Structure 1
Amino acid sequence: MSDMQDTMLLGLEGIKKTILHGGTGEIPKCISGSKVTFHFRTQLCDDERTVIDDSKVVGTPMEIVIGNMFKMDIWETLLSSLRIGEVAEFWCDIIHTGIYPLVSKSMRRIAEGKDPVDWQIHTCGMANMFAYHSLGYDDLDELMKEPKPLYFVLELLRVQQPSEYNRETWAMNDEERLKVVPVLHGQGNKLYKQGNYDEATQKYKEAIICIKNVQTKVIKQVV
C-alpha cells in the first residue's frame, strides 16, 4: 500500500498527486474530442478537509470533452494521468484553482436543473472575475474573494474516443456548432410540417443554444 500513497508531481508547478486506489490497464489516450466520465470531490486544505462539491452526493458522474473549452482546463491534465478505476487526490495551488468558484456555480446549476448558460451570457468575460459579484452560494463567494489551494479527488470511470459516441451539441466546438445550426433548423421545419410542434420547438431551441454559445465566446474574446 505504501507505494500507492507516494506523492508524485506531474511535472507541473503547483500540483501534487497521491494515488489512493490503483486503476487497471494502460492510461487511456485522452485526445481532443474524447469524452471522459469521472467522479470528483473538491475539498479545502483545512484540518477538516471541508468538502465543497462531491459528484457522488449529487449522484451523477461528471462528463467533459477534451479540448472543448471546459473552463477548468487543469482537470484535463489531471484526468490524463489516471487509469480506469484509479482514484487519486491532487493538491492544486491557487494558480490552478482561482476559476473554480465559477466552474462550481455552473455545475451546481446543472445539478439543480437550471440552465448553466443563462448566467454566462450576461457576464463580461474575465473582467467579471475581478469585480466582485455574488455567485449565489456563500461558500463560493468566500472562495472567490480569497482563492485557496484545493484538493481534487478524481475517480476515472470511462474514456470514450470521438468515434465511440454521438456528440451532442454541447460537446461540439464552435465550427461544428455553426455547421449544425442549419441542419437543426431543417429538421425543425420538417417536424413542424408534420405537426410535431413540441419536437420541432426542441430542434429550434437546440439551434439557438448553439448560436448563443458561439456568441458568448465571441463577446468574451472582444471584451
Structure 2
Amino acid sequence: MEEIDIKLRADGIQKKVTSPGKGELSTFPDGTKVKFHYHTSLCDGTVLDDSRTMGGHSKPMELILGKKFKLPVWEQVVTTMREGEIAEFTCDVMHTALYPLVSRSLRNISHGKDPLEGQRHCCGIAQVHSHHSMGHPDLDNLQANPQPLVFTLEMLEILPPGSFQLEIWAMTDEEKMQAIPHIHEDGNALFKSGDITAAAEKYYSAIACLKNLQMKERPGDDHWIKLDLMITPLLLNYCQCKNLLGQYYEVLEHCSSIINKYDGKYQNQA
C-alpha cells in the first residue's frame, strides 16, 4: 500500500483510508466493472454531490474500466481500492477540471434526463473554458474557479470482465444497434404486464441510445434517417406510457414534434 500511496502522491493525489476493505487487491484488467458510492466536496468541506442522496434516491456509480470515462482520476483511484473499502482522495486541480461536466451529466441522470443534455455542441475542454452556464450555480463557480476536490469513495463491488451483462452505455455502437430491438421487446412485455413506469424507462433508454448514435451522423443522411425512423415507434410507445401516467404536457410536446417532423419530410423513405 505504501508503494501505491507514493505513486498517487507523485500524481497529485492524496489517499486516506477511513475503513479498510477485504480480500486481496484486484489487478483490475480492462473491462472490470466497479460499483461505488461517491461524495464530492471542496477542500473547505462544501458538498457538491453525494450519490446516496442525488436526485432524492441512492444510486451508486458504475464504471467499466478502460472505457475512457470523462474523469480519468476516478478510474485511477478505484484501482487502489478493495471491496468494502472507504477512502478519501484529495485530487489536485489538474485532475478535476472536467468535474463540472461530469457532475452535470450525473445530476441529469439522477433526475431522469439525457446525460448529454446541454453539452452537445462542443468538446469537454472547450466547454470548461466557455462562458455558458452549467445550469447549476455551484458548478458555474467551480468551472470559473477550478480547484482541488475531495472524493470520498465506498467500493461496493468489483466484477471481473465477462461476469456481468454490459449496460447499454458501456456497449460499442454495433452492440447498441443489436440491443435496441431487445430493449424494445422488454418495454412491450413490461407494458403488457401493467408495469407502465418500468416500460417507459425501457423505451426512454432505447431512445436515448439511438439519439446518441444519431449525434454521430450528419442530419438528413441515410443512416441518420434510419435511426430517426427507429426512434419514432419507441417515442410513441413512451408517450403512451406517459399518457397513462398522466404526464400530458410531455406527451403533447413529443407528439407535436413527431407531427412536425413527418410533415412530408420522409415520404420517400417509407
TM-score, normalised relative to structure 2: 0.65
TM superposition shift of 1:119 = 2.7
Per the alignment, residue 172 of structure 1 pairs with 171
Partner in structure 1 of residue 104 of structure 2: 105
- Residues 200 and 14 of structure 1: is their aligned pair in 2 closer, same or farther, counting only changes over 3 Å? closer
**1:68/1:172 contact within 8 Å kept:** no
Q: Which residue of 2 aligns with 1:95?
A: 94
The one-letter amino acid of 1:56's match is R
The count of residues paired between Structure 1 and Structure 2 equals 210
**Which residue of structure 2 lines up, in the alignment, with residue 75 of structure 1?**
74
Q: State the partner residue of 1:143.
A: 142
Matched residue type, 1:21: S
Q: Deviations over 1:66-123 (max 9, x none)?
A: 1223211210110010011111111111110000011111111111222213333x33
Name 1:54's counterpart in structure 2: 50
Structure scoring higher RCO (CA < 8 A, sep ≥ 6) equals 1
Spell out, residue by residue over 1:142-162, the C-alpha distance to the aligned partner (whole angstroms, 9 max, x if none). Answer: 000010001111110101123
The alpha-carbon distance between structure 1 residues 118 and 10, as it changes in their structure 2 partners (threshold 3 A), is same
**Aligned amino acid, residue 177 of structure 1:** K
Q: Could you say which structure has the larger radius of gyration? A: 2
Query: Take 2:85 and 2:18, find their aligned partners in 1: how far apart are those partners?
Result: 8
- The answer for the alignment partner of 2:37 in structure 1 is 39
Matches within 5 A, 1:5-16: 8-10=6-8, 12-16=10-14
Hey, what's the Cα distance between the residues in 2 that align with 1:95 and 1:135?
A: 20
Unaligned residue ranges in structure 1 (runs of 5+): none
SS in 2 for 1:118: coil
CA contact (8 A) 1:8 1:17 kept: no
Cross-structure match for 2:17: 19
Contact 2:108 2:117 (C-alpha < 8 Å) held by counterparts: no
**Contact 2:97/2:128, CA 8 A, preserved across alignment:** no
Is the 8 Å Cα contact of residues 40 and 149 (structure 2) preserved in structure 1?
Answer: yes
Paired with 2:66 and 2:215, the residues of 1 have a C-alpha distance of: 17
Q: Which residue of 2 aligns with 1:29?
A: 27
- Normalised TM-score (structure 1): 0.77
Cα distance between partner residues in 2 of 1:158 and 1:180: 25
Relative distance call for 1:184 and 1:60 in structure 2 (3 A) is closer
Say what the alpha-carbon RMSD is for the aligned residues. Answer: 3.3
Mapping for residues 128-207 of structure 1, pairs under 5 Å = 128-180=127-179, 206=205
Kindly state the Cα deviation for residue 206 of structure 1 after the two structures are TM-superposed.
4.9
Residue 209 to residue 112, structure 1, CA distance change in 2 (3 Å): closer
The structure in which a higher percent of residues are strand is 1
Q: Distance in 2 between matches of 1:61 and 1:200?
A: 22
The separation in 1 between residues aligned to 2:216 and 2:149, in whole angstroms, is: 27
SS in 1 for 2:16: strand
| Change over 3 Å in CA distance of 1:200–1:151 after alignment to 2 | closer
Mapped contact 2:105–2:117 kept (Cα < 8 A)? no
Aligned-residue offset at 1:182: 7.1
Give SS of 1:162's match. Answer: coil
Structure 2 CA distance for partners of 1:57 and 1:208, relative to 1, 3 Å: closer
